[in-house]
Amino acid sequence: MFRGRSRVLWRTRTETLLMRFTDIMLVIPDLPPVMVVIALTRPSIFNIILVIGLLY
């Protein structure tokens, strides 16, 4: 039981890498529409904020 609790408290390197990979895979499907809309409009900070706000 102590071993299981200690694993929860200290993350392993493998767990951290798997979580980062999962985060990247969750972001990728949303990235192409954002890039297309930004490419069609004039790239500016306002347009980037607007598109990200509308798509999310």
Mean pLDDT within 25-48: 82
Record the tokens describing residue 38, joined without a space. 């930004």
Kindly tell me if the per-residue pLDDT of 1 is higher than 60: no
Helix (H), strand (E) counts: the chain: 4, 0
Residue 2's pLDDT is what? 58
- Helix (H), strand (E) at residue 43: none
The Cα 38–Cα 2 span in angstroms is 51
Residues in the chain: 56
Residue 49's pLDDT is what? 87
Split at pLDDT 50, 70, 90, the class of 17 is: confident
